[in-house]
């Protein structure tokens, strides 16, 4: 058997060693490139996610009370919103004449929102309403074109399609407008109930007792949330529901 020359054997071994080194270096470089590309892609994805982040706790919130209500109705709600990151300087309560006319009340809301936008520098606000405040808000967004100034609308036990409970106070124009089948109700419910790019959501309960039928609060095109059992006034102190609304507006 012919023996290989030691010199030739060492030459082959050296060549193999060089090839292995080059291969290892290429593999390492390729892995580094892949890791770098992955990191770059991940960074780009994070940047894209950040770029599309919607409105958050910097959005001014305008609270609109119900029939015979006032700004004091929103003490608990404002506390919940502050706990969820809002500054007191971005929380506002609109008051109106419960016994007047909801068209006038909606016009007043339009002026109030414009003042809030001017004061805060925001291009849009969020609206949270309760009971008859739903009618005032819906007229503002739909008939007066307020949806262009409202990012989110949350209606809590809103009388959005009227309530037969209003039959007890029909001596007042606002109650006439709040009664099911009124021309006012027809105007705000005909066609698109959730106009514009505004995000709409409602919260309602079979235990309401004032909004009759209780499903009157629901809006076509909105995210409608049925609460297991909550009274009409109880909603105003329901920190769970109020927390959900804060999350909705921040999302």
DSSP track, 15-41: HHHHHHHHHHHHHHHHHHHHHHHHHHH
Nearest to 251 by CA among 27, 16, 85: 85
Decide: 134 and 217 in contact? Cβ < 8 Å.
yes
Q: Is 152 a catalytic residue?
A: no
Instruction: Select which of 131, 137, 151, 216 is catalytic.
Output: 131
Nearest to 77 by CA among 250, 228, 244, 210: 244
Nearest to 201 by CA among 236, 153, 240: 153
Q: Is 208 a catalytic residue?
A: yes
Instruction: Select which of 65, 208, 216, 238 is catalytic.
Output: 208
Helix, strand, or coil here: 159? coil
pLDDT number for residue 21: 38
pLDDT, one tens digit for every residue, the chain (251 residues): 444 443 333 343 333 333 333 334 434 444 444 444 443 444 444 333 333 444 589 999 999 999 999 999 999 999 999 999 999 999 999 999 999 999 999 999 999 999 999 999 999 999 999 999 999 999 999 999 999 999 999 999 999 999 999 999 999 999 999 999 999 999 999 999 999 999 999 999 999 999 999 999 999 999 999 999 999 999 999 999 999 999 999 98
Half-sphere exposure of 71 (CA within 13 A, CB side): 6
Q: Roughly how many angstroms between the first and final C-alpha of the chain, as a whole number?
A: 82
Decide: 203 and 146 in contact? Cβ < 8 Å.
no
pLDDT number for residue 56: 80
pLDDT number for residue 46: 39
In the numeric block, the tokens 């291009």 are attached to: 123
**Reported pTM:** 0.79
Instruction: Select which of 65, 152, 161, 232 is catalytic.
Output: 232
Do the bridges between strand 223-227 and strand 61-64 make them parallel or antiparallel, or are there none, so unpaired? unpaired
How many Å apart are CA 179 and CA 167, to the nearest integer?
A: 7
CA dihedral 14, 20, 25, 31 (to 10 degrees): 180
How many Å apart are CA 211 and CA 159, to the nearest integer?
A: 6
Helix, strand, or coil here: 146? helix
Q: Is 161 a catalytic residue?
A: no
Q: How many helices (H) and strands (E) does the chain have?
A: 7, 6
pLDDT number for residue 55: 52
């Amino acid at each position: 058997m012919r023996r290989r020359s030691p010199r030739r054997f060492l030459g082959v071994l050296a060549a193999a060693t060089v090839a292995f080194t080059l291969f290892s270096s290429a593999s390492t470089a390729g892995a580094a490139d892949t890791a770098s590309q992955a990191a770059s892609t991940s960074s780009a994805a994070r940047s894209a996610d950040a770029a599309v982040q919607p409105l958050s706790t910097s959005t001014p919130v305008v609270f609109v009370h119900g029939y015979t209500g006032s700004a004091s109705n929103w003490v608990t709600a404002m506390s919940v919103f502050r706990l969820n990151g809002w500054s007191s300087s971005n929380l506002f309560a609109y008051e109106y004449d419960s016994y007047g006319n909801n068209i006038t009340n909606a016009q007043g809301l339009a002026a109030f929102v414009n003042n809030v936008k001017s004061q805060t520098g925001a291009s849009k606000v969020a609206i949270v309403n309760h009971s008859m405040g739903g009618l005032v808000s819906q007229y503002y967004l739909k008939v007066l074109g307020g949806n262009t100034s409202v990012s989110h609308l949350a209606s809590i036990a809103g009388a959005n399609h009227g309530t037969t409970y209003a039959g007890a106070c029909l001596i007042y124009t606002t109650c006439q407008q709040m009664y099911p089948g009124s021309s006012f109700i027809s105007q705000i419910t005909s066609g698109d109930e959730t106009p514009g790019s505004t995000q709409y959501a409602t919260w309602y309960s079979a235990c309401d007792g004032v909004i009759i039928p209780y499903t009157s609060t629901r809006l076509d095109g909105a995210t409608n949330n049925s609460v297991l059992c909550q009274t009409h006034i109880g909603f105003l102190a329901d920190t769970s529901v109020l927390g959900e609304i804060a999350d909705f507006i921040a999302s």
